[in-house]
Chains A and B, each alone.
Chain A
Amino acid sequence: MNKFSIKDVNLWYNDFHALKNINMSIPANEITAFIGPSGCGKSTLIKSLNRMNDLVEGCKITGSILLDGQSIHGNIDVNALRKRVGMVFQKPNPFPMSVYDNIAYGPRTHGIRSRSKLNDIVEKSLYDAAIWDELKDRLKKSALSLSGGQQQRLCIARALSVQPDVLLMDEPTSALDPISTAKIEELVLKLKNSYTIVIVTHNMQQAVRISDNTGFFLLGEIVEYGETQQVFSIPKDKRTEDYITGRFG
């Protein structure tokens, strides 16, 4: 089952051709990793999947991206799309409010007002993000008082609070220490049973450890895309091999 089908996608930031003829399918309930050197387009592609690029001025996209067979462009509600396709960012970005309000913000946005329902959602989201035990006594505390790793798991919980199908993660561990990184990786592996996960990472070991499929990007093109095992052990393209063996990047 494919969650996303990406066909002939080209993307420009003004005159800069950031994505060139991208074709790929992202399977449901698996972890797909995007790797590649900085500026290769991997973050741009992930941000196209929930149309966060719409916010960038001068951004133009052609081709088609289908989510469960339905185009995400054209006449659809962008907010509904972003509710279905949640996102976790590179730097933990909790809102400057309490832990509880951070999680409740999403459901409240989508019209849930009942206190008991919100309580359930907050508890379940934090539980699913494996941070309930650490935070259950600190729900009223400001989210900004948490450590970086806790903040990032809080952001994952916040993304889960609106019950998305897909979780996009844009280098979610690049600002974290190794122990927090390990916790997040463990969490991501657990979440793949319920969600389709797309993760951008600079860390090739991380891609090997957690992903089922890996796409290698270079200068806006997708050089190689396949099962992680295959991409890292017997890459088909010379450039992939050079990158994963550390010859450039």
Chain B
Amino acid sequence: MQNFKRKKPSDIILFALTWLSIGITAAVLVLVVGYVLINGIPFIRPSLFAREFTTQNQSLFPALIGTLMIVGLSLILAVPLGVFSAIYLVEYAKRGSRFVAIVRLTTETLAGIPSIVYGLFGFIFFGVFLGWGLSLMSGSFTTSIMILPLIMRTTEESLKSVPDTYREGSFGLGAGRLRTVMRIILPAATPGILAGVILAIGRIIGETAAIIFTLGNVARMPNNLFDTGRTLSAHMYALANEGTHPGEAHATAAVLLIVVILINALSSWIARFIRKES
């Protein structure tokens, strides 16, 4: 009797390679997360979350608030701009027009520029030319330019992945383009757009070079939009650079990681909620 279960050698090799890849990928993640948490968590103390930073407590609280402010402000600036630009490119502009091609080329180029270049530009344009100095405004405008291509790109992709049959169905009922986009296309594309927003948040949180150039790296909470401050990544950079508080640097890394995980969980919860609503 023929044994249907017998595998060819090539099958076994492929199987092993697949598992090896999964294993390595998972191991790297576990290693990084484990390293950060094991080294960081023992140093997390209540004094790290003191309202004011002093050289004694090395509080990361001002940086945590600074991070949330930068993320919030950048998203407020970049998400509407990116989403509506993408809507224009996908739903309104003529397919294959020259203008669209130029806009696409520009955004793709923007996406490939190193962040330090954004930092330098932000410093010179927002900080010096507009006179905003090292401030939340300079910082958030700079990071919002950085994430704009990312948001446009992911929004475009998710709008394109909405089947044309939805558009036909809506137009066929006598709905205009605006209503079709707002009521049918955008809700269907929201999970994809949110995935892009999560990536963008990750990019802002992880940014140091552009942030230090534009927001500055002063360990205090910004009092207003034109005040300077620091983010967690910049805080970590400063601590690690000084070399005097390696434990606190690790603790900051752990907190940063937890913040990222929380933001991702929140975003996917929002995505689920929106999907259920529509």
Contacts and interface: CB of A to CB of B under 8 A. Distances in A.
Q: Report whether chain A binds chain B.
A: yes
A109 B174 contact: yes
Interface stretch (A16-24, A77-85, A223-231): A77-85
Contacts of B184: 95, 105
Nearest to A50: B172
B173 A83 contact: yes
A91 interface: yes
A55 B163 contact: no
Interface string A103-119: 00110011000000000
Contact of B169 (A55, A57, A83, A89): A89
Of A57, A79, A161, A162, most buried by chain B (CB within 10 Å of CB) is A79
A87 interface: yes
Nearest to B95: A57
A87 B172 contact: yes
Contacts of B172: 50, 52, 82, 86-87, 89, 159
Interface in B169-224: 169-176, 179, 183-184, 187-188
B168 A95 contact: no
A79 B94 CA distance: 20
A50 B94 CA distance: 21
A39 interface: no
Contacts of B167: 55
Interface residues of B, number: 21
Contact of A105 (B163, B168, B170, B188): B170
A63 interface: no
A105 B185 CA distance: 13
Nearest to A77: B174
Nearest to B97: A57
A162 to B, nearest CB: 6
Given A95-B184, A96-B278, A79 B166 contact: no
B55 interface: no
B173 A105 contact: yes
A52 B179 contact: no
Contacts of A83: 173-174
A93 interface: yes
Contact of B174 (A80, A89, A93, A155): A80
Contacts of A42: none
Contacts of A50: 172
Interface string A164-201: 00000000000000000000000000000000000000
Given A105-B183, A109-B175, A93 B278 contact: no
Interface residues of A, number: 27
B258 to A, nearest CB: 34
B162 to A, nearest CB: 9
Contact of B173 (A55, A91, A94, A109): A109
Given A93-B163, A93-B166, A96-B278, A159 B173 contact: yes
B165 interface: yes
Given A96-B187, A105-B183, A155 B171 contact: no
A248 to B, nearest CB: 30
A153 interface: no
Interface in A34-91: 50, 52, 55, 57, 79-83, 86-87, 89, 91
B179 A109 contact: yes
A89 B169 CA distance: 8
Interface of B: 94-95, 163, 165-176, 179, 183-184, 187-188, 278
Given A50-B172, A86-B173, A161-B173, 13 more contacts: A55-B171, A82-B172, A86-B172, A87-B172, A89-B165, A89-B168, A89-B169, A89-B172, A94-B169, A105-B175, A105-B183, A109-B173, A109-B174
Interface of A: 50, 52, 55, 57, 79-83, 86-87, 89, 91, 93-97, 105-106, 109-110, 155, 158-159, 161-162
14 contacts: A52-B172, A55-B167, A55-B168, A55-B171, A81-B174, A86-B172, A87-B168, A89-B172, A93-B163, A96-B278, A105-B173, A109-B173, A109-B174, A158-B169
